[in-house]
Amino acid sequence: MSLAPRRQLLCRLCQSRSFSTSYRWLAAEQPGATKKGAAAAAPTGGPSKPAAAAQAPLRQVVPPPSEQFAAAPRAYGKRVEEFTPVPLSRPIGMATWNQRRKEFSTMSSSARWSQHLERREELKEKFRRPYFRDWGNLQFHKGKTFYPPPRLFKGDVSLYFPNLYGRTLLKGRGSPERDTTPTLEGKTSIISVFSGTWAENQVKSFAGAAQNPALAKLLEANGDVAQHVNVNLEPDRLKHMLIRLFVGGIRQQVGETNWDKYFIVRNPLSDEIRENVGLLNGKVGYVYLVDSLCRIRWAGSGEANDEERGGLGQGAAEVDRRREEEPEGK
Q: What is the DSSP letter of 295?
A: B
Four-CA torsion 213, 215, 220, 224, nearest 10 degrees: -170
pLDDT at 323 over 80: no
Residue 294 — left, alpha, or beta (φ > 0 → left; ψ -120 to 50 → alpha)? Answer: left
pLDDT for position 100: 59
Please give the Cα distance from 92 to 70 (Å, whole number).
Answer: 13
Q: How confident is the model at residue 238 (pLDDT cuts 50, 70, 90)?
A: confident
The mean pLDDT value of the chain amounts to 77
Domain architecture of the chain: domains with CATH: 97-323 (3.40.30.10)
Identify which of 201, 93, 230 has the alpha carbon closest to the alpha carbon of residue 143: 201
pLDDT for position 107: 65
CA 124 to each of CA 16, 90, 118, 128: distance values in angstroms, whole numbers, following the listed order: 19, 27, 10, 8
Q: What pLDDT digit, counting tens, does each position of 243-255 carry?
A: 888 899 999 999 9
Q: How confident is the model at residue 104 (pLDDT cuts 50, 70, 90)?
A: low
Burial (0-12, 13-18, 19+ Cβ within 10 Å), 186: middle
Question: Cα 84 to chain center, whole Å?
Answer: 21
Q: What pLDDT digit, counting tens, does each position of 24-64 carry?
A: 333 434 444 444 443 333 444 444 444 333 333 333 334 55
How much of the chain, in percent, has pLDDT values that exceed 70?
A: 68
Task: State the amino acid at position 264 in one-letter form.
Answer: I
Residue 233 · residue 282 · CB < 8 Å = yes
Compute the average pLDDT of residues 188-214. 94
Total-model pTM: 0.72
Q: What pLDDT digit, counting tens, does each position of 242-286 carry?
A: 888 889 999 999 999 999 999 999 988 888 899 899 998 888 999
pLDDT for position 189: 96
Q: What pLDDT digit, counting tens, does each position of 127-154 carry?
A: 666 667 777 778 888 889 999 999 999 9
